[in-house]
Amino acid sequence: ASAHALDLMRRTAGRLPVGMLARHPDLSARHLRRMVHREAGISLKIYARTLRFLRAMTLADRAARPAWAHIAAESGFCDQSHLVRESRALCGLSPRQVHDERRAEAETSNPCWDSQRNIASRVAPCMP
């Protein structure tokens, strides 16, 4: 049940509330929080924030000219300023700066930004 909940969080990019994830009879919200902390080393809230941010960056990567307001809405943020605040809180850069950095690294044939795991490892140390 807990593995299914984590998979569901990843597939929905962190947009489902914990209460929805914990509706399985064998899974409580408390157990889910403990499991995420054990598996990822971060809180459930930060895990969900990171997944939403990764979704936004993935959508930006697919666009020649990212429309940040649209990307924010598609990623589960209230608006563009919410995406900007989360980006600055998670990694100290605006979404545009993160996107430009990812593009520059991809152009130099460095695939480190291609993996969401690598993005998350860059974001996680910056989080409170």
Range of the structural domain that residue 113 is part of: 49-126
Q: What pTM was computed for the model?
A: 0.72
62 with 105, same domain: the answer is yes
40 with 57, same domain: the answer is no
Confidence of residue 75 (pLDDT cuts 50, 70, 90): very high
89 with 65, same domain: the answer is yes
What's the chain's average pLDDT? 79
Q: What is the pLDDT of residues 31-73, one digit of tens each?
A: 878 888 888 788 888 888 888 999 999 999 999 899 999 999 9
Distances in Å between the Cα of 38 and the Cα atoms of 42, 54, 61, 88 are: 8, 21, 30, 26
40 with 53, same domain: the answer is no
Q: How many domains does the chain have?
A: 2
40 with 69, same domain: the answer is no
30 with 81, same domain: the answer is no
75 with 113, same domain: the answer is yes
Among 122, 56, 60, smallest CA distance to 86 is for 56
